[in-house]
Amino acid sequence: MGPRAIEKPAADWNRVPPTDIAVDCHVHLFPERLFEAIRRWFAQAGWAIPYPHRTGEVLDLLRAFGVRECWALPYAHKPGVAAELNAWMADVQREHAMVRGFFAVHPDDDVADLARRAVDDHGLCGMKIHCEVQQVAISDPRLDPAFDLLERRGLPCVLHSGDAPYPYTRPHLDVSRVAERLRRNPALHAVIAHLGAMQTAEYLKLMDQYPGLHLEISFTKAPGVAELDKFDWNGLARYAERILFGSDFPNLTFIYAEQVENWLALDWVRQNHDAFFGGNAHRLLSRKGDMRLGA
């Protein structure tokens, strides 16, 4: 999960993966000014990112890569921005058939109102929380109204709750905070980004307890990412129905196709190809069209 710069011919960056991808469940889209600020932060941190960040260009490139659908994941880095961000995401979802927009909340805002409006008024598909950027634990009671709504509606949430790529583990990034949330919301469809690294083993134990818990693989089995080099990738095979492909596009320090190729090298991924590259993600959103307002 650590960043790195690589030097390859420009054509390699746009190399098409060797398989179509029904769903990339970890894609970032933001309004242009906010995305420009995010890119400046990455540049100052030493990340070399060759991919575009404007919405139309990002989606065009994903389509060229063979991606048919993507989960667009925002997050609110400070109070007062989530409502506008969610309205913008709803517009993007309406304008682009391939986008499944998720919503943001901030714990210092009216979380209940944000979540209800995001789902009922905007038709967004789930929620994204980034614990380190937002400086919040998944178990924070201020988030209860959003998680309660998602659990009632059967909608997923994507949680960047692990401690990678940070060189520390803080209390709000510990897997115990997710365990606490799942004790309160045991039917929650939670998708843990980046395999929950560097606490993947602990998250796998939680998966044995909570059938609604899923893992997403972005920025893990990827070129130049050394933190999980000794991880037993084949040990994930028993959870094949709850592992989702995601890329973290466009914020990559490696070639999009390489991450796809590295996962396809595993027998269990090839044997579960359709589930891994979209079927599992489709299943998590399958109830959305049947929801009743206010349910």
Residue 226's pLDDT is 64
Residue 251's pLDDT is 94
Rounded CA separation 136/132 (Å)? 7
Kindly report the pTM of this predicted structure.
0.92
Q: Which residues of the chain have pLDDT under 50?
A: 1-7, 9, 289-295
Q: What is the dihedral of CA 86, 87, 90, 91, to 10 degrees?
A: -140
Residue 230's pLDDT is 78
Rounded CA separation 104/200 (Å)? 25
For the domain with range 19-284, which CATH number is right: 3.90.1640.10, 3.40.50.1460, 3.20.20.140, 3.90.76.10? Answer: 3.20.20.140
Residue 3's pLDDT is 41
Residue 192's pLDDT is 98
Radius of gyration of the chain from its Cα atoms, rounded to whole angstroms: 18
**Which amino acid appears at position 213 of this protein?**
L
pLDDT in tens, 185-214: 999 999 999 999 989 999 999 999 999 999
Three-state DSSP state, 72 = strand
pLDDT in tens, 248-290: 999 998 999 999 999 999 999 999 999 999 999 999 998 554 4
| Tokens standing for residue 115 | 């979540």
* b/e burial code for range 114-142 (CB count within 10 A of at least 16 → b): bbbbbbeebebbbbbbbbbebebbbbbee
| Residue whose C-alpha is closest to residue 117's, from 87, 137, 141 | 87
Task: Domain ranges for the chain, please list them.
Answer: 19-284
Q: Within its chain, how far is the Cα of 93 from the centroid?
A: 16
Residue 72's pLDDT is 98
Residue 183's pLDDT is 98
